[in-house]
Amino acid sequence: MRKQGILHFFAFVAIALVACNNLFAQENNCCPDDKCCKEAIVKDIDSYIQKVKDEWQLTGLAASFALDGDVIYSKAFGVKEKGGNEPIDVNTVFQIGSVSKSFTATVMASLVAEGKVKWEDTVANILPDFRMYDPWVTKNMQVKDIMTHRSGLRGQAGTYIPNVGYDRDDVYKMLGLLKPVYSFRGDYQYNNITFIIAEKIIEKVTGKSWEENVRERVFGPVGMTLSSMNGEDFKVQKNVAVPHEYFYKDSINVNALHGDDQALWWLTVVGPAGSVNSTVTDMIKYAEFHRTNGKVDGKQVMDSKAVAYLHKGHNITSQTGNKTTLYGNCWFIEQNNKYRLYFHTGTTWGFTALCFFVPEIELSGVILVNCEAGASPRYAIMRRLIDLVMGAPAGQFTEEFKDYSKESFEEWLADEKRSQAKAEEAAAKEEKIEAPKSKLLVGEYVKDELFGNARISLEGDQLYIEIGKKGFKNKLNHKNGNTFTFWSDGHEFPLNFFMDDKGKKVTGFEVEFNYNEEDSFGGWTKK
């Protein structure tokens, strides 16, 4: 009887396992084996990406995903330029924006591994000309502080300075003028220009440019043969996606950007924080390199501890009931109640990107888009893929495994409609004030050696401004009263003229850089 009972027990277990496997297969539309389930995941995510593209009206995108160390998906959707018929492919080059920050951090980690620099080294000991506004910060800022967004600077401060025509050296010198808005290491506020400090350190300790270091220390070892840096390299690419602006005004508008609207000078100057150009074919190799802490095809090409340090959280960026997100050295680290996710987004003029990996399920991926549709479409694809790998029923959405795209698109559309209505209401109430006579504005304006002088001229009825070290010449357009605007390297800048007490003489002007930098910089004085 005992032996028979044991046989009945094992028979029951076998039947239960078969039933369980059959149920799993039905829910996931595949047989209960690794190969077939990967096929189901690929089929679902392929249709979901198409859904996201159509829902958000994206011009085009490319995506690549790896699972268990194998690339299971690599595909492109849409066209290089709206209205054209040249399709994007998996080797089409995109700008990856702020995902580039992790490349700079990776170079720095390799230098730490080689003993050329330490994370605890003070910046001033490496760069004697380094200056921040607060002398104490100048003296105590360490290498590990540079790329973790806790410098004391206002979030995004300095981001648009390059568009006026200043280079990396100029922006580096301007750091000492920017007044902090919070205590050093006391908060997390995202910033781009502190990465120029990292660039200077890399160049000082290696004797090579930041660009050379990225090529030798990242592109080469990882096998990224289609990748480059900066605006000049992007401009000469042949298989390249065209960037598109994306905005809502009565409906979704997606327009191609050409010429100066692409902000390629900005791309070069912001370099270490956002100028890598790449493809999904190359970027999935990079994502896997980070997921495996420095391995390529199973071979350790960079010190594992050095790479792992980049994935260590330093600042809390957000926190909810079931999710905490930290920022490391150029990776966001999200710990939720299901998994730990490492990711970074990127945005430039007309491009958006997302690179991510989830070590515990051996998943990594990259999504590149050739329009500025915000982060939601990319997040939706990433979240859906993670859900599928973790057991979401293929072809179905549930309360637990939801349609992230539909939900975020409806929220975005409602917000955009409200914003448009408020903007139109404010514009209707604004008092219209005439501009000063053009002849009063024409002339030479002086500032200092760092910022240089400026010149306003009149050609026919059109005013022009020449400003910045590059001597960009741009149209000056009246907005209201003493406020004009000019468009430079893809960005619009308000410019406010100052008059004397009698209102008959112009004494100078001030340029608004978007994040109140003018409070630190001051304006130009008319000769």
Structure confidence by residue, pLDDT tens digits, 232-279: 999 999 999 999 999 999 999 999 999 999 999 999 999 999 999 999
pLDDT of the residue at 504: 87
Q: State how far the Cα of 348 lies from the Cα of 371, in Å rounded to an integer.
A: 9
Q: What is the pLDDT of residue 19?
A: 37
- What's the confidence (pLDDT) of residue 33? 57
CB 158 within 8 A of CB 191: yes
CB-based contacts of 20, cutoff 8 Å, min separation 6: none
Whole-angstrom distance, CA of residue 351 vs CA of residue 418:
25
Helix (H/G/I), strand (E/B), else coil: 343 = strand
User: What's the confidence (pLDDT) of residue 501?
Assistant: 87
279 three-class SS: coil
Q: pLDDT tens digits for 316-334?
A: 999 999 999 999 999 999 9
| pLDDT of res. 246 | 98
Residue 201's SS3 state is helix
Residues composing the chain = 527
**Residue 502: predicted pLDDT:** 84
Where the chain has pLDDT below 70, the residues are: 1-33
Token pair 């054209």: residue: 84
Q: How far apart are CA 51 and CA 90, in angstroms?
A: 19
Residue type, 280: V
- Which 3-state string (H, E, C) describes 479-512? EECCEEEEEECCEEEEEEEEECCCCCCEEEEEEC
Q: Residue 334 carries which side chain, given as an amino acid letter? A: E
CA nearest neighbour of 106 among 271, 235, 218, 224: 218
Q: What residue type is assigned to position 62 of the chain?
A: A
The single-letter DSSP state of residue 217 is: I
Which letter does DSSP use for residue 122 in this model?
Answer: B
Q: Which helix (H) or strand (E) holds 71?
A: strand 70-78
The residues pairing with 253 across neighbouring beta strands, listed in sequence order, are: 247
pTM reported for the whole predicted model? 0.93
Q: Are strands 363-369 and 483-488 parallel, antiparallel or unpaired?
A: unpaired
Query: Residue 401 phi/psi, 5° resolution?
Result: -115, 90
List CB contacts of 204: < 8 A, sequence separation 6 or more.
Answer: 126, 127
Closest CA to 193 of 231, 160, 234: 160
Fill in the amino acid letter for 371. C
pLDDT of residue 21: 43
